[in-house]
């Protein structure tokens, strides 16, 4: 009888990112089995001022903003994500993404409740169908952590806006009746707040629609709750390919060993993973931060896909940078690092105009026969027009 050898583990060029654990701070005594159980993390989320008072030194502004904002857009932070917060620095990028800031209360004249016009293109509840061949399905409005820069503040975190089972069936029926739709984004909220079976059932129902070619699952769990990507869940989802994963890392502080292991688990199971970073003032509005995150992502086999200009959502104007900042970040990356580490910088046009890519200007002129342009280093080149 021949004995089969165990499979050889993949050889890695870089292993350093996956070793170790993020220090647990006040949760140091929590048993590993609990800490790495995503349900425990969900149950023990920090949601009140008292929860945070025991963890970090809140400023008066943060305290006031918490009291004024938390009933408009809920506050919830997993213990895991909370361990990434600096206890003493109010400008900490994790604090600013997860805790209400005083500026949230200052409206901007261009703010919109629904900045991308998603409700206007909603043929049935819970489904936006704006582009002919793509549709966006909102399967839940809950998330493990509520990001203060969320575009869908109008309904995310609001339990009353969650889609009922009957409405979800209607939305899936709509997709069945529209053969032009070939690509469906499963979003929310965060779809991974659903149970494994519920999520797998939705994915299975969509997979049965013959004209749907690609599914995309949009989740920030690899950032805020990486333990949610369990082997059980991946076993249930892995048969449904192509099921692409879109995630949302914004800052090097989020690039932990736990997150690296999560992304590698996804890649090892055959999922193609891409990152959609949002450009946020004071958090990642410089090329060095973006480069550091994107190099880390590539090492975990996650493609840096988009860098989004922050939308005109209500209460997020303090996060917005001038558009030129994003263009300059792309200029600082293009040619100076691997092309794969350079995302598309896009503005999602207000009101539903779609994504508009913005690129630095490299063409400096033309003559009768040639286009004249500059390369990344500022050197001039000519290329024949035909
Ligand atoms: S995870 Fe996504 S949907 Fe949820 S609050 Fe953050 S940005 Fe909004």
Q: Is 76 close to ligand 1, i.e. is its CB under 6 Å away?
A: no
Q: What is the per-residue pLDDT for 219?
A: 98
- Mean confidence (pLDDT) of the chain: 94
Give yes or no for a contact between 129 and 175, defined as CB atoms under 8 angstroms apart.
no
Specify the pairing of strand 370-374 against strand 380-384: antiparallel
What distance lies between CA 97 and its chain's CA centroid? 12
Q: What residues have CB less than 8 Å from 292, skipping those under 6 apart?
A: 252, 255
Residue 136 is assigned to a structural domain of this protein: yes
Separation CA 91–CA 96 (nearest Å): 7
Q: In terms of DSSP H, where are the helices of the chain?
A: 32-35, 38-43, 49-53, 60-69, 79-82, 93-98, 165-176, 196-207, 221-224, 231-237, 257-268, 287-299, 323-333
Residue 45 is assigned to a structural domain of this protein: yes
Domain span at 303: 17-360
Is residue 148 packed enough to be buried (19+ CB in 10 Å), middle (13-18) or exposed (0-12)? buried
Nearest Cα to Cα of residue 130 among 355, 344, 323:
355
Report field, pTM of the whole predicted structure over 0.85:
yes
> If pLDDT is split at 50, 70 and 90, which confidence band does 62 have?
very high
Rounded mean pLDDT of 88-100? 96
Residue 375 is assigned to a structural domain of this protein: no
| Between 250 and 16, the higher pLDDT residue | 250
Separation CA 275–CA 298 (nearest Å): 10
pLDDT digits (tens, 9 = 90+) for 217-246: 999 999 999 999 999 999 999 999 999 999
Task: Give yes or no for residue 325 having a pLDDT over 90.
Answer: yes
Residue 372 is assigned to a structural domain of this protein: no
Q: What total of structural domains would you count in the chain?
A: 1
Q: Is 58 close to ligand 1, i.e. is its CB under 6 Å away?
A: no
Q: Could you tell me the CATH number of the domain that includes residue 207?
A: 3.20.20.70
Calculate how far, in angstroms, residue 133's C-alpha sits from the geometric centre of ligand 1: 24
Give yes or no for a contact between 264 and 300, defined as CB atoms under 8 angstroms apart.
yes
Query: Which residues participate in catalysis according to the annotation?
Result: 130-131, 134, 143, 147, 150, 152, 311, 348, 355
- Please report how many Cα atoms fall inside a 13 Å half-sphere around the Cα of residue 269, on the Cβ side: 24
Rounded mean pLDDT of 42-64? 95
Q: What is the per-residue pLDDT for 22?
A: 93
Out of 59-73, 158-172, 210-224, 318-332, pick the least confident. 158-172
Q: What is the per-residue pLDDT for 2?
A: 55
Nearest Cα to Cα of residue 134 among 319, 374, 354, 324:
354
Residue 133 is assigned to a structural domain of this protein: yes
Q: What is the per-residue pLDDT for 3?
A: 63
Task: Give yes or no for residue 1 having a pLDDT over 70.
Answer: no
Out of 91-100, 158-167, 200-209, pick the least confident. 158-167
Angle, nearest 10°, between helix axes 287-299 and 257-268? Answer: 50
| Between 101 and 11, the higher pLDDT residue | 101
Residue 379 is assigned to a structural domain of this protein: no
Task: Give yes or no for residue 161 having a pLDDT over 80.
Answer: no
- Write b or e for each residue in 54-72: b if 16 or more Cβ atoms lie within 10 A of its Cβ, otherwise e: ebbebeeebbebbeebbee
Separation CA 236–CA 265 (nearest Å): 14
Q: Is 190 close to ligand 1, i.e. is its CB under 6 Å away?
A: yes
Residue 385 is assigned to a structural domain of this protein: no
Rounded mean pLDDT of 38-44? 98
For residue 12, the tally of other CB atoms under 10 A from its CB is 11
Calculate how far, in angstroms, residue 348's C-alpha sits from the geometric centre of ligand 1: 16
pLDDT digits (tens, 9 = 90+) for 107-152: 888 888 888 888 889 999 999 999 999 999 999 999 999 999 999 9
Calculate how far, in angstroms, residue 9's C-alpha sits from the geometric centre of ligand 1: 35
Q: Is 246 close to ligand 1, i.e. is its CB under 6 Å away?
A: no
Q: Is 143 close to ligand 1, i.e. is its CB under 6 Å away?
A: yes
| 225 SS3 class | coil
Specify the pairing of strand 243-247 against strand 273-279: parallel
Q: Tell which atom from ligand 1 comes closest to the C-alpha of 149.
A: 7
Q: Tell which atom from ligand 1 comes closest to the C-alpha of 187.
A: 3
User: Which of 78, 150, 251 best tests ligand 1's pocket when mutated (most atoms within 8 Å of CB)?
Assistant: 150
For residue 376, the tally of other CB atoms under 10 A from its CB is 14
pLDDT digits (tens, 9 = 90+) for 285-315: 999 999 999 999 999 999 999 999 999 999 9
Task: Give yes or no for residue 6 having a pLDDT over 80.
Answer: no
Residue 366 is assigned to a structural domain of this protein: no
Q: What is the per-residue pLDDT for 137?
A: 97
Out of 11-20, 188-197, 198-207, pick the least confident. 11-20
Rounded mean pLDDT of 81-101? 96
Calculate how far, in angstroms, residue 150's C-alpha sits from the geometric centre of ligand 1: 5
């Amino acid at each position: 009888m021949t004995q089969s050898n165990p499979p050889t583990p993949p050889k890695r060029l870089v292993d350093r990112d996956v070793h170790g654990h993020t220090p647990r701070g006040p949760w140091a005594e929590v048993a590993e089995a609990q800490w790495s159980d995503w349900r425990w993390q969900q149950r023990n989320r920090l949601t009140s001022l008292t929860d945070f008072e025991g963890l970090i030194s809140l400023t008066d502004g943060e305290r006031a903003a918490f009291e004024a904002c938390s009933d408009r857009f809920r506050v919830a932070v997993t213990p895991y994500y909370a361990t990434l917060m600096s206890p003493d620095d109010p400008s900490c990028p994790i604090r600013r993404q997860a805790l209400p800031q005083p500026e949230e209360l200052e409206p901007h004249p261009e703010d919109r409740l629904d900045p991308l016009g998603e409700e206007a293109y909603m043929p049935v509840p819970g489904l936006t169908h704006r582009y002919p061949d793509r549709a966006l399905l909102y399967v839940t409005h809950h998330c493990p952590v509520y990001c203060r820069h969320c575009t869908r503040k109008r309904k995310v975190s609001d339990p009353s806006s969650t889609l009922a089972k009957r409405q979800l069936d209607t939305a899936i029926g709509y997709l069945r009746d529209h053969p032009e739709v070939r690509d469906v984004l499963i979003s929310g909220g965060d779809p991974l707040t659903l149970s494994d079976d519920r999520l797998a059932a939705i994915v299975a129902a969509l997979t049965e629609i013959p004209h749907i070619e690609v599914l995309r699952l949009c989740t920030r769990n690899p950032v805020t709750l990486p333990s949610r990507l369990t082997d059980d869940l991946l076993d249930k989802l892995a048969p449904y390919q192509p099921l692409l994963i879109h995630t949302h890392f914004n800052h090097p502080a989020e690039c932990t060993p736990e997150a690296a292991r999560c992304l590698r688990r996804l890649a090892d199971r055959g999922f193609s993973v891409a990152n959609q970073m949002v450009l946020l003032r004071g958090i990642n509005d410089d090329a060095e931060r973006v480069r550091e995150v994107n190099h880390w992502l590539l090492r975990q086999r996650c493609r840096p896909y988009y860098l989004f200009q922050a939308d005109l959502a209500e209460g997020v104007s303090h996060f917005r940078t001038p558009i030129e900042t994003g263009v300059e970040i792309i200029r600082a990356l293009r040619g100076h690092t691997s092309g794969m580490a350079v995302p598309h910088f896009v503005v999602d046009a207000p009101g539903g105009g779609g994504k508009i890519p913005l690129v630095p200007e490299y063409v400096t002129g033309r003559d009768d026969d040639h286009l004249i342009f500059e390369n990344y280093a500022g050197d001039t080149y000519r290329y024949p027009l035909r």
